[in-house]
Amino acid sequence: MSDLSAQSVSTWLKDFAEVINEQANYLTDLDRQIGDADHGSNMSRGMSAVAALDPASFTDASGMLKKAGMTLVSTVGGASGPLYGTFFLRLGTTFTSDGELSAADLARGMKAGLDGIIARGKASPGDKTLVDTLTPAVAAAQQAADEGRSLAEALQAASKAADQGRDSTVDMIAKRGRASYLGERSKGHQDPGATSMALLIDSAARCLA
Amino acid sequence: MADNSATAHDTEAAPPTDSPAGVGIIVVSHSHRLAVAAVELAEQMVPDNPPPIRVAAGLDEETLGTDAAAVGSAIEELSGCSGILILVDLGSSILSAEMASEFVDPDLAARVRISPGPLVEGLVVAVVTASTGADLDAVAAQTADALAPKVQQINS
């Protein structure tokens, strides 16, 4: 099950699309409180387009991941398009060969994705963004890899850390995106992008192990 | 100065660099209608010789959003220009414009600049300046400073 292929990537992305569609109203509600109330509908539109991609039309996981990234870039519409798009493009350029996915591979791919998101959005940890979910998740995956643990254990650790990272955004003051216009008033609200990113990592833990 | 009116809304790629077409302009906005209207307003200033202008705005004519791939296509359509200035509206339009530069040939990307100028006033200034045959540095500088006349008029 830990084999990486266009098919396994497709399973993950379809699962994430399903979760996003289920949670779209919740994500949009979070965004209504500190943003422009479109995160759920934007992500839902983008992931529905990604879920429609046929894994059989790709020769490997890398091709599927890159196409997913480009699809998000063109269909999400908001800042999440370039940010999630960059994440998947970076995964696609990191996972260049199909076959067994190790905990170390996972950590390396996630780190490349995080670095891409930071370069694109210029956000730092503590800015109340999806970076606050992804940063501890990458660290947890890396630690699991360093300790020689399995891919499944690394994914579980990353998922738990991602959820904690998401929760940590509640007390933060937004420094990026629409929410930053609210300043102090953004405090007390969970960041919608940090929330959807935690859903992505949770989905990976379910599907890629 | 070359008459660029023929290339203003061509869907064909502009001619190769041996006959550079001056500075081209791309409008990146969440709203297709907003971008088209802003172009209409700006082109009023240069009815006879508008510079090459492309719009990459909205996910379609109705849906609000920006699309980095569409911006990339617009850049490629203006590859015959000596320089390309991108005007943006809010938030993700900047991310999409920045990402688009990574989708195109690095030599072409080196001739692309994103303006911090305001969309409407900036576009007017960019179109007028580009139509005089000014180079990218001059068009970009004038556009970045496009709010100055308004600020001066209101504050004086």
Report the pLDDT value the prediction gives residue A58, as an integer from 0 to 100.
98
B23-29 and B53-57 as β-strands: parallel, antiparallel, unpaired? parallel
Instruction: Give the C-alpha separation, A78 to B95, whole Å.
Output: 9
Asked if residue B68 lies in contact with residue B103, where contact means CB atoms within 8 angstroms, the answer is yes
A80 or A1, which is more confident = A80
Confidence of residue B3 (pLDDT cuts 50, 70, 90): very low
- B95 and A83 within 8 Å at the Cβ level: the answer is yes
Residue B19 predicted with pLDDT over 60? no
Residue A152 backbone class (left: φ over 0; alpha: ψ -120 to 50; beta: rest): alpha
Mean per-residue pLDDT for B22-41?
Answer: 98
Angle between helices A39-51 and A61-75 in degrees, nearest 10? 140
B1 or B49, which is more confident = B49
Q: Which of A83, A77, A74 has the alpha carbon at shortest distance from A50?
A: A74
**CATH number reported for the structural domain that contains residue B144 in this entry:** 3.40.50.510
**Chain B residues close to A178, C-beta within 8 Å:** 91
What six digits make up the tokens of B58? 């909205």
Nearest chain B residue (CA) to A178: B91
Mean per-residue pLDDT for A136-149?
Answer: 98
Report the pLDDT value the prediction gives residue B147, as an integer from 0 to 100.
96
Query: Vertex A4, ends A111 and A79: CA angle to 5°?
Result: 45
Q: How many CB atoms lie within 10 A of CB A191?
A: 31
Asked if residue B71 lies in contact with residue B33, where contact means CB atoms within 8 angstroms, the answer is no
Q: CA-CA-CA-CA torsion for A176, A180, A186, A189, nearest 10 degrees?
A: -30
Q: What does the DSSP assignment read for A132-199?
A: HHHHHHHHHHHHHHHTT--HHHHHHHHHHHHHHHHHHTTTPPP-SSGGGGGGGGGTTS--HHHHHHHH
Residue of B28, B63, B66 best to disrupt the A interface, most CBs of A under 10 A: B66
Judge residue A187's burial from the number of C-beta atoms within 10 Å of its C-beta, 0-12 exposed, 13-18 middle, 19 or more buried.
middle
Tens of pLDDT, residues B36-84: 999 999 999 999 999 999 999 999 999 999 999 999 999 999 999 999 9
Looking at the structure of chain B, the number of domains it has is: 1
Asked if residue B4 lies in contact with residue B132, where contact means CB atoms within 8 angstroms, the answer is no
Q: What is the mean pLDDT of chain A?
A: 96
Residue A181 predicted with pLDDT over 80? yes
Minimum distance, in Å, between the CA of residue B5 and any CA atom of chain A: 30
Asked if residue A164 lies in contact with residue A142, where contact means CB atoms within 8 angstroms, the answer is no
Nearest chain A residue (CA) to B103: A70
Minimum distance, in Å, between the CA of residue A196 and any CA atom of chain B: 17
Confidence of residue B97 (pLDDT cuts 50, 70, 90): very high
Instruction: Give the C-alpha separation, A50 to A36, whole Å.
Output: 23
Instruction: Give the C-alpha separation, A66 to A105, whole Å.
Output: 17
Confidence of residue A177 (pLDDT cuts 50, 70, 90): confident
- Give ipTM to 2 decimals: 0.88
What six digits make up the tokens of B65? 């959003």
Residue B13 predicted with pLDDT over 70? no
Mean per-residue pLDDT for B102-126?
Answer: 97
User: What is the domain extent for residue B73?
Assistant: 5-155
- Residue B99: phi and psi, rounded to 5, are -65, -35
Choose among B30, B63, B95: nearest Cβ to A82. B95
A3-4 and A99-100 as β-strands: parallel, antiparallel, unpaired? antiparallel
Residue A177 backbone class (left: φ over 0; alpha: ψ -120 to 50; beta: rest): left
**Chain A residues close to B69, C-beta within 8 Å:** 70, 73-74
Q: CA-CA-CA-CA torsion for A172, A176, A178, A179, nearest 10 degrees?
A: 10
| SS3 state at B57 | strand
Report the pLDDT value the prediction gives residue B156, as an integer from 0 to 100.
84
Report the pLDDT value the prediction gives residue B20, as an integer from 0 to 100.
59
Instruction: Give the C-alpha separation, A8 to A171, whole Å.
Output: 36
Domains recognised in chain A with CATH numbers: 3-207 (1.25.40.340)
Report the pLDDT value the prediction gives residue A207, as an integer from 0 to 100.
97
Tens of pLDDT, residues A59-100: 999 999 999 999 999 999 999 999 999 999 999 999 999 999
Mean per-residue pLDDT for A158-185?
Answer: 95
Q: What is the mean pLDDT of chain B?
A: 90
Residue A191 predicted with pLDDT over 50? yes
Report the pLDDT value the prediction gives residue A69, as an integer from 0 to 100.
98
Mean per-residue pLDDT for A10-39?
Answer: 97
